[in-house]
Structure 1
Amino acid sequence: MTTMLVTRPEPDAQSTLLRLEALGITGLVAPLMTRLTLDSSLPPQDGFAAMAVTSANALRALDDRGALEHYIHLPVFAVGDRTAWEARQMGCTDVVSADGTATELVNALVRARLDGPVFYPAGKHMSHDLGKSLAPFGLMVVTTRVYDMVAVDALPEPVIRQLADGSIDATLLYSRRTAEIFVELLEGKLDHKERSASTMLCLSEAVAEPLISAHFNRIGLADHPSEEAMMALALAFTREQTAP
């Protein structure tokens, strides 16, 4: 049976693990980051036309602080279907899903012709400046960093050994920062041959770039930046490995 390393933070790692198991793939969970809710000053709830969400972690952080209920009445523009689903699960009723990228989220917000500013609860390490992207369209964004994804100090030694000896058939990586942390934690742990033999299944080209620079040469890219596309990639890889 194929074994894949899941590097996502919890609780997303468990969701991916269950989906892999449904495909007949053994999942091994080793999150590379943990979420820390920040005690940042939140803006007043009135006056916003919408809330933009690029990660369910933003909603979880607001919920941790008991603040989500203050913004739940706002239309929510989510970066993709999974984030939109999470928003609905947490009580948001007016939810629009973009196509899984920040660019599509910007397009969705522009098309909506909002009559007020957008509240953007974000992570400390933002991969995209939504306010800067929307400024040319005359749309104001109030960005508040509500959570931080903190890198773990080390990969478990058994995981490193399994990566080295090929017991892990592929590693799933969903963000560029996760890929950067993965490379950093394996510095000096795998030799060139072991890196070259390790398969990395990545959400996008941006995620793959740090891996390629670190000489992880066996890279698979999802057709679309979504969990569904990652599962399709994982299944296709498994079928290749088990084909007669």
Structure 2
Amino acid sequence: MMHLLVTRPEPDAQATAERLAALGIDSTLAPVMSRQTLSPNLPPARGFAGIAITSTNALRAMEDLGVLEAFRTIPAFAVGDRTAHEARLLGFTSVEAADGTLASLVTRIALARLPGPLFYPSGKHLSGDLAQALAPHGLMVVTSPVYEMIAETSLPKDVLTGLTEDRFGGVLLYSRRSAEIFAELATTRLPEIQKRRLPMLCLSENVAAALIENHFSRILLADHPSEDAMMALALAFAREQTGA
């Protein structure tokens, strides 16, 4: 049976493991980051014409802070279907989903022609500047970091051993920062030849770029930046490797 290493944070790591198991793929969880809710001085919800959501972690952090109720009736613009689904589950009444990328989210928000400013609850470490991207469209964005993803300082001993002994058929990576952290934690233990042959299943080219910079060269890309596409990639890869 194919055995993959899942690096995304909890609780998403467990959800991914369950989906892999349903496909007949075994997995080991080794989150390289964990979420920490910040204590921001958030602006009042009134006056905002929309809210941008680029991560389910932002929704979880807002829930931790007890501020979701005030924002639920504001039109929400989610980066992808999964984030949109989570927003609806948490009670947002108007949710539009982009196609999984920041560029598609910018387009979706720009086309909405909002009559006022946009609120953006973000992570402390931004992979893209939503405010700058929307500025040419004349839209003001108020960005408030509500969570931080804390990098792990090491991989579990059994995971490091498994990597050096080629026990994992591949590694699943969902963000550029997680790829950077994984590469940093693994690179001192893996010789160059193992780095070159270890399959890295990546959500996007942006994720893959961080691995290529660290000499991981066996890169597989999802057709679309979504969990469904990652599962399709994992299944196709497992079937190719096992001949099933």
Q: Same fold (TM over 0.5)?
A: yes
Task: Provide the rounded CA distance (Å) in 2 between the counterparts of 1:229 and 1:22.
Answer: 15
User: 1:164 offset after TM fit, Å?
Assistant: 1.3
Q: Does 1:88 align with 2:112?
A: no
Counting matched residue pairs gives 244
- Identity value in percent: 58
Where does residue 216 of structure 1 map in the other structure? 216
Letter in 1 for 2:137: F
User: 1:163 offset after TM fit, Å?
Assistant: 1.1
Letter in 2 for 1:179: A
Task: Provide the rounded CA distance (Å) in 2 between the counterparts of 1:92 and 1:6.
Answer: 30
Task: Provide the rounded CA distance (Å) in 2 between the counterparts of 1:188 and 1:142.
Answer: 40
Where does residue 136 of structure 1 map in the other structure? 136
Task: Provide the rounded CA distance (Å) in 1 between the counterparts of 2:210 and 2:61.
Answer: 28
Where does residue 163 of structure 2 map in the other structure? 163
Where does residue 177 of structure 1 map in the other structure? 177
Task: Provide the rounded CA distance (Å) in 1 between the counterparts of 2:18 and 2:47.
Answer: 40
Name segments (4+ residues, structure 1) moved above 3 Å.
none
Q: How does 1:98-113 map to 2 (within 5 A)?
A: 98-113=98-113
Task: Provide the rounded CA distance (Å) in 2 between the counterparts of 1:112 and 1:48.
Answer: 14
Where does residue 52 of structure 2 map in the other structure? 52
Task: Provide the rounded CA distance (Å) in 2 between the counterparts of 1:16 and 1:83.
Answer: 15
Where does residue 79 of structure 1 map in the other structure? 79
Task: Provide the rounded CA distance (Å) in 2 between the counterparts of 1:160 and 1:20.
Answer: 21
Where does residue 20 of structure 1 map in the other structure? 20
Secondary structure of 2:44's counterpart equals coil
- Give CA deviations for 1:129-168 in whole Å, capped at 9, x if unaligned: 1111111111110100000000011100110111111110
Task: Provide the rounded CA distance (Å) in 2 between the counterparts of 1:137 and 1:213.
Answer: 34
- Give CA deviations for 1:150-204 in whole Å, capped at 9, x if unaligned: 0011100110111111110010000000000001111320111111221100011
Letter in 1 for 2:127: S
Letter in 1 for 2:95: V
Q: Does 1:230 align with 2:193?
A: no
Gapped regions of structure 2 (runs ≥ 5): none
Letter in 2 for 1:205: E
Task: Provide the rounded CA distance (Å) in 1 between the counterparts of 2:5 and 2:206.
Answer: 19
Secondary structure of 2:45's counterpart equals coil
Task: Provide the rounded CA distance (Å) in 2 between the counterparts of 1:48 and 1:215.
Answer: 45
User: 1:217 offset after TM fit, Å?
Assistant: 1.4
Q: Does 1:42 align with 2:47?
A: no
User: 1:54 offset after TM fit, Å?
Assistant: 0.3
Q: Does 1:127 align with 2:127?
A: yes
When normalised by structure 2's length, the TM-score is 0.98
Secondary structure of 1:34's counterpart equals strand
Where does residue 194 of structure 1 map in the other structure? 194
Letter in 2 for 1:111: L
Secondary structure of 2:145's counterpart equals strand
User: 1:243 offset after TM fit, Å?
Assistant: 1.2
Task: Provide the rounded CA distance (Å) in 1 between the counterparts of 2:94 and 2:210.
Answer: 37
Secondary structure of 2:187's counterpart equals coil
User: 1:70 offset after TM fit, Å?
Assistant: 1.2
Task: Provide the rounded CA distance (Å) in 1 between the counterparts of 2:217 and 2:33.
Answer: 24
When normalised by structure 1's length, the TM-score is 0.98
Task: Provide the rounded CA distance (Å) in 2 between the counterparts of 1:28 and 1:35.
Answer: 20
Task: Provide the rounded CA distance (Å) in 2 between the counterparts of 1:212 and 1:232.
Answer: 22
Letter in 1 for 2:51: M
